[in-house]
Structure 1
């Protein structure tokens, strides 16, 4: 019997998964968590076989949670669930120690298949994730997850421009700029504007001196 923990802040999603998996004779729901903090507490000393973890939660990224759990249990098995299936997100999940990666667009049968595969110690990536990884040439396009407007704001931020300057050049409000900036930092897993500039230099998006 494979025990499964579900970590997702959306109760409808979590309940749907629990109901679906309870119909499988070889799978049982071990536990459910609505945030990363409770999940870490509940799974730190757990013998659960597989955890299905949403990549985006209100208190902490699912990838950070996974890294913390794997520091305590190096063989901890988890499947990351995300609305994103681009090469950069999949790569980050693999680097964090994920055994599997599923798009939230996957069907019920694929979720069950992924859990069984990971429980057996094998890796499982959904079809879209595999295709996107294969299509990534030398490495993933580090900005491919940004929208067109977020990319425009990114280009201004890495030049050190402030909100007022960006607003006047892009004809958008200060509030909108702050929203785009927050989305950019979240998608690139960065904390502040200094990190953004370092990121740009690291990926040769800027040619100025070091920060």
Structure 2
């Protein structure tokens, strides 16, 4: 029996995965959590064979959580879940110690296959992730989804500037900054500015890191 823990702040996604995996005789979902903090103690336990971790969570990114877990449990096995399949996102997950990578476009059978593979000591990359890694896109970056202005807003946000300060520096309205901020958070799968800072730290995008 492969024991699975799901960590995703979207209850619809989490419950859907739980129902799907529950249909398989050799898989059992033993825990469901909406944040890294809630899941931490359970994931440290010996009765977890594989975790499915969303990258974007309200308190800490899935990649940061995975790195901390592997410091405590070097053999910890996890599948990282993301809406993105760019080479940089996939590589960041593998560098953090992920044994599998799925996008949220994956089909039900692919989720089951990934959990079985990772839960029995193997690895699994969805077709989109494999294609991204083999694509050889020149100089991919985790910020490639952002427009030049969104990149500016991102850099100022992670430095700690407020919306008011950013509006003054860029000579635009507060409403415009809020719009750019929303786009940045959406494209980078972050739920808040704090999570955006975690994202920047995870991907070494802050000066001095």
TM-score (norm 1): 0.78
Q: Distance in 1 between matches of 2:197 and 2:59?
A: 15
> Counterparts of 1:132-171 in structure 2 under 5 Å?
132-137=132-137, 139-147=139-147, 149-151=149-151, 153=153, 163-168=167-172
Shift in alpha-carbon separation, 1:39–1:177, aligned structure 2, 3 A: same
Q: Which has the larger radius of gyration?
A: 1
Shift in alpha-carbon separation, 1:178–1:74, aligned structure 2, 3 A: same
Q: Secondary structure at the match of 1:4?
A: strand
Contact 2:153 2:181 in 1 (8 A): no
Q: How far is 1:134 from its partner? A: 1.2
Q: How far is 1:120 from its partner? A: 2.1
Q: Per chain length, whose mean CA-contact separation is higher, i.e. which structure has more relative contact order (CA < 8 Å, sep 6+)?
A: 2
Paired position in structure 1 for 2:200: 190
Paired position in structure 1 for 2:59: 59
Q: Distance in 1 between matches of 2:97 and 2:49?
A: 15
Q: Secondary structure at the match of 1:28?
A: strand
RMSD: 3.1
Q: How far is 1:173 from its partner? A: 2.9
Contact 1:86 1:145 in 2 (8 A): no
Shift in alpha-carbon separation, 1:23–1:154, aligned structure 2, 3 A: closer
**Correspondent of 1:175 among 170, 175, 178:** 178
TM-score (norm 2): 0.78
Q: How far is 1:172 from its partner? A: 6.8
The runs of 5 or more residues in structure 2 that have no matched partner are: 158-164
Paired position in structure 2 for 1:39: 39
Q: Secondary structure at the match of 1:42?
A: helix
Shift in alpha-carbon separation, 1:9–1:156, aligned structure 2, 3 A: closer
Deviations 1:93-143 (A, max 9, x none): 111110000000100000000011111222111111111111134653343
Q: Distance in 1 between matches of 2:155 and 2:46?
A: 45
Q: Distance in 2 between matches of 1:132 and 1:148?
A: 23
The farther-off stretch of 37-46 and 180-189 is 180-189
Paired position in structure 1 for 2:124: 124
Shift in alpha-carbon separation, 1:163–1:30, aligned structure 2, 3 A: same
Shift in alpha-carbon separation, 1:148–1:131, aligned structure 2, 3 A: farther
Q: Distance in 2 between matches of 1:97 and 1:188?
A: 17
